[in-house]
Chain A
């Protein structure tokens, strides 16, 4: 999941309003420019709709890129709309159901199968073959993340990876070495216990713990599972793990929480941004998160917070490069050619690369990524270098896009682990319930 609950970059109210304002103003300006271009342009007036989610910074940058596209393609007007993640997904689902999918839409990894399977997305294989959309600078493995049943339906817009934001000062105090790409889940357990043993107190007087509780986070489970050679899904209709796997994972997290080594249940439940995460509230020393939201951590907590790899099983890394978000074309678009041109422009134009920079994580186009990387400093430089390190360390290829039931499985995952945390179910009972529910979701 590109912008996970536990690590999504904090989205202040102001940002939402600003984004809304930008959206509104562009809606107005694009209508106006539509009038002006209609009179003097050569090609007939084509209007594309393009929608995405994100914060105000991303909105401003995207607008700039879109204006540049309009300038280069006289007669084409791009109407944009954006919202915050949760609202966006629901709006898009309703639009798609009514056949009103935007011409170009930013998509979540979890939406690809549902939308492609439901016939809401245009297959991109032809426009890729005739080079309307160029993919030569992108990794073949990585492109696979936008495929469904062998066809390409979406293209990644950014490359993200899971990681571990931790407070190096606390680690030093507890005598724990900085996490290396080969550190193990046992090392992680020892580190958490060591930090809890320091006897530090949080601002509200409660014991300070080692990390957030990743038990309810499907991404953390996937990392753990992959580090043991497993995978979340065996196919579009089958889970790739067993009740025993999940029971083992939840028993592990549950035990650490009971022992006071990781965050308490009530703090895990209310964590939904950097500020409300245990590390953000001064309750823990670390947080499982993603690279894109990481720069928010040092801003909030100071320079001793660094970005480290997630733990491994005997040195095998479970992390993988995942699309932070993808882009696709609506199946019923009236202007598929122009839509494809816009997608290509956003992904491959060097000037757009400069404008968008890392606002959607590392650009998938290698040349653009390398060019933009030269300008990075501080935490952004750190996550770029982290990605390089992980690439050198060696990661397994990413899976294809998750099945259409995954949205429901992911929320079930959080909920069932909450039942474990509050003692309403044992890890095994919860695991059985999750698997039953997942099987129902995947079957239908």
Chain B
């Protein structure tokens, strides 16, 4: 986004042929300075709020900074410790992976299913679209996570309903086997954003294809598998990458639902929550910085793998002739 918007004003106006090349270049340079002036706030922001903190964070990840004493260089100790000597680190990786593997397919599946239903809906489409989209707008807030916590707490609505049908699970929030699914459900409930993208993708598919398939005697399911899925694969890919990156960084719901502690028994100790705990509760900022860089590397690696594999399953209509 930002690169597009920043380049636009910097593009030189087409110079006329009457000017000799050297003068033209100077003129171009002269005309560029307002662009840089207008860019300054953005550049200062990028430098001060992004690049410098990133550099500091990288430096701190090689130190034992504890907020109070000046940081000491410890080399790779933070990294080796998290990889070889910290069982909680690997548990947090496991919890996060479990969450990604369960929540992302569920969320995208639901989003696609609802989008398919909405596509063929004539009346009230706008209403349903907004209704399903609303949770995506609300869901990231603290208040919804608090409501969620109250729903799934011991004595809350969910345990009450389950009790009345004879399932005595107690509060999900206080049960280490179920607590992570409270967070999963909260995420899946926010399927509105990918749904809207799916809906847009579905509307791009030419009705001719369906008509032709129907003439050939293909049923609804056949049409879905043979037309919708391949035609939609770029959109699926886009949503998948986006959701996976987001899911690795899940924080707010886990923080609120577990009261910031990742409990019970570390069952909702997601990677980012553990990172926060190391940094702000245990005052190991160096370790937390190292964890952040490991997360960045992991997300980059997974995104790269996704892009590599996408060549075999993502189908772009404009590539057809190549």
Contact = CB atoms under 8 A, between A and B. Distances in A.
Interface of A: 86, 90, 93-94, 96-97, 114-115, 117-120, 204, 265-267, 269-270, 272, 404-405, 407-408, 411, 414-415, 418-419, 421-422, 424, 433, 436-437, 440-441, 444
- List the 5 closest pairs (A to B, CB-CB), nearest first: A118-B68, A418-B265, A97-B67, A408-B282, A269-B174
Given A96-B67, A118-B66, A407 B282 contact: yes
A415 B282 contact: no
A96 B69 CA distance: 11
B281 A114 contact: no
A381 B56 CA distance: 55
B171 A270 contact: yes
Interface residues of B, number: 32
Interface SS of A by simple majority? helix
A151 to B, nearest CB: 16
Contacts of B41: none
Contacts of A437: 88
Given A266-B170, A415-B263, A433 B176 contact: no
A102 to B, nearest CB: 16
6 contacts: A115-B68, A119-B68, A266-B175, A407-B281, A418-B176, A422-B265
Nearest to A433: B87
B283 A93 contact: yes
Interface in B206-261: 259-261
Contact of B67 (A93, A266, A419, A422): A93
A266 B153 CA distance: 10
Contacts of B264: 265, 269, 418, 422
Most chain A beta carbons < 10 A, residue from B67, B68, B86, B88 = B68
Nearest to B286: A444
Interface string B169-207: 011011110000000000000000000000000000000
Contacts of A421: 265
B284 interface: yes
B280 interface: yes
Contacts of B155: 204
Interface of B: 64, 66-69, 81, 85-88, 153-155, 170-171, 173-176, 259-261, 263-266, 277, 280-284
Contacts of B261: 411, 414-415
Nearest to B69: A118
A440 B85 contact: yes
Contact of B66 (A86, A424, A444): A444
A437 B88 CA distance: 10
Given A97-B68, A411-B277, 14 more contacts: A97-B67, A204-B155, A265-B264, A270-B154, A408-B282, A411-B281, A414-B263, A418-B176, A418-B264, A418-B266, A422-B264, A436-B85, A444-B64, A444-B284
Nearest to B173: A270
B249 to A, nearest CB: 21
B199 to A, nearest CB: 41
Contacts of A436: 85
B67 A424 contact: no
A418 B153 CA distance: 17
B265 A419 contact: yes
Contacts of B259: 272
Nearest to A97: B67
Contacts, number: 81
A212 B281 CA distance: 26
Contacts of B283: 93, 114, 404, 407-408
A422 B170 CA distance: 14
A266 B178 CA distance: 12
B68 A120 contact: yes
A114 B282 CA distance: 11
A441 B155 CA distance: 37
A119 B175 CA distance: 42
B266 A93 contact: no
B176 A422 contact: yes
Given A115-B68, A411-B261, A418-B263, A270 B153 contact: yes
Given A114-B68, A118-B67, A119-B68, A269 B280 contact: no
A252 to B, nearest CB: 19
B195 to A, nearest CB: 35
Most chain A beta carbons < 10 A, residue from B86, B153, B264, B284 = B264
B167 to A, nearest CB: 15
A408 B279 CA distance: 11
Contacts of B153: 270
A424 B87 CA distance: 13
Contacts of A408: 281-283
A88 B247 CA distance: 30
B282 A419 contact: no
A43 to B, nearest CB: 33
A120 B67 CA distance: 11
A266 B281 CA distance: 24
B68 A415 contact: no
A164 to B, nearest CB: 24
Contacts of B282: 405, 407-408, 411, 441
A441 B176 CA distance: 25
Contacts of A120: 68
Most chain B beta carbons < 10 A, residue from A117, A270, A407 = A270
B263 A269 contact: yes
A424 B281 CA distance: 24
A94 to B, nearest CB: 8
Given A120-B68, A408-B282, A424 B176 contact: yes
Contact of B174 (A115, A266, A411): A266
B154 A266 contact: yes
Nearest to A419: B265
A422 B86 CA distance: 21
A441 B173 CA distance: 28
Nearest to B67: A97
B75 to A, nearest CB: 14
A341 B29 CA distance: 65
A348 to B, nearest CB: 30
A439 B142 CA distance: 35
A33 B88 CA distance: 52
B244 to A, nearest CB: 28
A181 B104 CA distance: 57
Nearest to A409: B282
A90 B68 contact: no
